[in-house]
């Protein structure tokens, strides 16, 4: 690390095996993140990797109680081009969310907390 500060490469979220399919729909279809191939040696048959701009989002599968995850406040911030349009998509898909001024908080199927905010390029 003496050559400079580390940069963020990816974020991993975890969902239990029984929620893998709905989590893939959430990240791929509802949020619209493009799925990318995993490198050889990764767990090819479970989870998924997504292109989230300069940072990847890795969906991992692990047994746990998602109700316990809903008590946590750590979150991932995702910039969206149009916050109102993102809110409309969540509403159309029946995804519960919490508007908070110029951002929206939402939980994925595994209970991971996401903050959707307007992209700095669009205001």
pLDDT digits (tens, 9 = 90+) for 77-90: 999 989 999 999 99
Q: What percent of the chain has pLDDT over 70?
A: 93
Least confident among 14-23, 26-35, 51-60, 62-71: 62-71
Residue owning tokens 């949020």: 31
Closest CA to 75 of 20, 19, 115, 25: 115
Q: What is the pLDDT of residue 3?
A: 66
Rounded mean pLDDT, 31-57: 90
Q: Kindly report the number of other CB atoms within 10 A of residue 34's CB atom.
A: 10
Confidence of residue 68 (pLDDT cuts 50, 70, 90): confident
Confidence of residue 121 (pLDDT cuts 50, 70, 90): low
Does 114 score more than 60 pLDDT?
yes
The CATH fold of domain 10-118: 2,3-Dihydroxybiphenyl 1,2-Dioxygenase; domain 1 (3.10.180)
Q: Which two tokens stand for residue 74?
A: 């750590």
Predicted structure pTM score: 0.82
Sign of CA dihedral 69, 73, 20, 94: positive
Q: What is the pLDDT of residue 73?
A: 75
Does 1 score more than 50 pLDDT?
no
123 neighbors 80 (Cβ within 8 angstroms): no
């Amino acid at each position: 690390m003496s050559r400079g500060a580390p940069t963020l490469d990816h974020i991993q979220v975890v969902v239990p095996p029984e929620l893998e399919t709905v989590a893939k729909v959430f990240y791929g279809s509802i949020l619209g993140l493009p799925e990318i191939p995993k490198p050889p040696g990764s767990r090819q048959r479970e989870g998924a990797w997504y292109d989230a701009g300069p940072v990847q989002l890795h969906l991992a599968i692990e047994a746990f109680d998602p109700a316990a995850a809903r008590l946590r406040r750590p979150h991932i911030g995702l910039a969206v081009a149009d916050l109102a349009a993102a809110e409309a998509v969540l509403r159309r898909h029946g995804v519960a969310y919490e508007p908070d001024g110029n951002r929206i908080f939402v939980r994925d199927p595994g209970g991971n907390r996401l903050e959707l905010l307007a992209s700095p390029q669009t205001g």
